[in-house]
Amino acid sequence: MKRTLTAIAAITTLALTGCGGSSSSGSSSTGSSAHQTITVWEGYTGVETTAIKALAKQFNASHPNTTVEVQFSGNSDYALQKVLAAIAGGKPPDIAYLYGSWAPNIASNSKVVTLNSMIESDPSFNWNDFWPSERAVATVNGKIVGVPALVDNLALVYNKKLFAKAGLSAPTASWTWSDFEGAAVKLTEPASKQFGWAYVNDGSEDTVWRYWAMLWQAGGSILNAAGSQAAFDSPAGLKALELLQRLTRQHAIYLDNGSNNYRSLFGSGHIAMLWTGPWDLAEIINEKASYGVQVLPAEANHQTISGPDNWVMFDNGEARKKASWEFLKWLTSPQIDLKWATMTGDLPIRESVTKLPGYAKFLAKYPGIGTWVQNLGNATQARPSIIAYPKISTIIGQMVQSVLLGQSEPKQALSSAAQQVNAILAVPGA
């Protein structure tokens, strides 16, 4: 699914825990030979719509005792609200695609199937084959509440022609923040409306998760080890905001208002560098831009942020749970996942996919995507799996936005944001 990072604060206003729903709406049959029809809700568009329908058809043809019905349920916050309404009405889907950031909010719902026992009893599923960032996001307080559906991360995409025109060498894997900052300034030409870099500055999670990557690269953390207090108000957090402030003052950053105009501006040669993910690659290729892909620059390290999403199962009776599990095992198996990735341009959700014979064909079809795959090794931290995260995200989005717009100084903005986050975390159950 193309990464859609909308404002997620509204999620915390939903009464998730109490949406237990009525008893199972599925078949009461527990016989393994009884035919089962399971419903899968997804929010795909474009090539992914074609892919999920084609794979469901393939599964149905090879599994005569199960019929998978794929239904579009929307995306963004609406998808979660629709699932919750279905649970309350006693008719949830069997499987739903949900953003990883929603996992803590839905984990305690009684209709969500906890997958630990299924995974432990089936060694062939190989849970450890999924990337660490995926497993971290799918696990809430030790409960595995989803099977990874998508994984991505941020890498540095650069315009080769603009670098050559400026007399700059291409970014390397040893680039530092200093290298990045110097290039961004040199690649900025106000007269021709050319910017060295672009930053999404609408205050949404799209704003926030770029800042998290910078915080981690400087050696910082979002919260303390206990998750009880803010830790971003630190020398690392300050370094990140000060870098953003310096580049903004030098007019080196194109501030995107959330309209995603940065994509076409990169393609037309008005932006030299992006920190973006594989979801933008198809448009960059279509724009016929001369581009390269490299890992993000480092201060203390090259960490990136990953945005895994999940397939979440709901309890509609033992027979339908078993059929749903069989479908998810099949859909996320290495061979089928490689097929999915080749059809869509999404990153493989399993590390073993990179060792399959057809992986080279995938790399050739999407030039540069191999860097994002390798970059998953730099996704060593995850956003906190706590119910309060959406509120924290809103505060951080406003903090970053205020600095980029010149409305506050980095140190002041950090202190104010930390105070607000600590007030939220002090509330029991946050």
Of 327, 401, 397, 390, nearest to 99 by C-alpha is 390
**199 and 218 share one domain:** yes
Same domain, 147 and 21: yes
Instruction: Identify whether residues 281 and 313 lie together within a single domain.
Output: no
pTM of the model: 0.91
Residue 265 has pLDDT above 60, yes or no: yes
**Distance between CA 257 and CA 199 in Å, rounded?**
9
Determine the residue type at 385: S
In a domain, 367, yes or no: yes
Domain containing 87 — which CATH number?
3.40.190.10
- Name 417's Cβ contacts closer than 8 Å, sequence gap at least 6: 230, 232, 233, 395, 396, 398, 399
Q: Are residues 186 and 45 in the same domain?
A: no
- Considering the domain architecture, whether residues 220 and 99 belong to the same structural domain is answered as no
Task: Verify that 357 and 413 share a domain, yes or no.
Answer: no
Residue 167 has pLDDT above 90, yes or no: yes
Half-sphere exposure of 86 (CA within 13 A, CB side): 23
Q: Is residue 300 part of a domain?
A: yes
Same domain, 228 and 301: yes
Q: Can you give the pLDDT at residue 79?
A: 84
In this prediction, residues 326-343 reach a mean pLDDT of 98
Of the candidates 296, 269, 110, the one whose C-alpha atom is nearest the C-alpha of residue 214 is 296
Q: What is the DSSP string of 373-396?
A: HHHGGG-------STTHHHHHHHH
Do 94 and 13 lie in one domain? The reply is yes
Residue 430 lies in a domain: no
134 and 216 both lie in a single domain: no
- In the predicted structure, residue 15 carries a pLDDT above the cut 70: no
User: Residue 287: pLDDT band by 50, 70, 90 thresholds?
Assistant: confident
Task: Write the pLDDT tens digit of every residue in 345-375.
Answer: 999 999 999 999 999 999 999 999 999 999 9
Give the structural domain span for 55: 9-152+307-378
**Distance between CA atoms of residues 90 and 206, nearest Å:** 34
**Is 256 a member of any domain?**
yes
Task: Say whether pLDDT at 24 is over 50.
Answer: no
Residue 4 lies in a domain: no
pLDDT higher than 60, residue 252: yes
pLDDT at residue 74 in the model: 80
- Evaluate whether residue 332 is within a structural domain: yes
By percentage, how much of the chain surpasses pLDDT 70? 92
The pLDDT assigned to 71 comes to: 96
As for how many domains the chain has, the answer is: 2
Across residues 420-428, what is the average pLDDT?
Answer: 96
In this structure, the answer to whether residues 134 and 36 fall within a common structural domain is: yes
pLDDT number for residue 14: 41
- Please give the mean pLDDT across all residues of the chain: 92
Q: What is the mean pLDDT of residues 301-305?
A: 97
Kindly state the percentage of the chain with pLDDT values over 90: 85
pLDDT beyond 70 at 33:
no
- The verdict on residue 254 lying in a domain is yes
Residue 209 has pLDDT above 80, yes or no: yes
Same domain, 340 and 372: yes
Mean pLDDT confidence for 218-236: 97
pLDDT at 29: 39
Q: What is the pLDDT of residue 78?
A: 77
Residue-wise pLDDT tens digits, 384-421? 989 999 899 999 999 999 999 999 999 999 999 999 99
Please state, in angstroms and rounded to a whole number, the distance separating the CA atoms of residues 190 and 261: 18
pLDDT at 128: 97
Mean of the pLDDT values across residues 260-266?
95
What pLDDT, on the 0 to 100 scale, is given for residue 32? 52
Q: Is the pLDDT of residue 186 over 90?
A: yes
Least confident of 9-13, 309-313, 314-318: 9-13
400 and 291 together in one domain: yes
- Mean pLDDT over 45-65 rounds to 96
Predicted pLDDT of residue 5 = 44
Residue 10 confidence (pLDDT) above 50? no
Please, what sign has the CA dihedral across residues 427, 205, 207, 277? positive
Q: Is residue 3 a part of any domain in this protein?
A: no
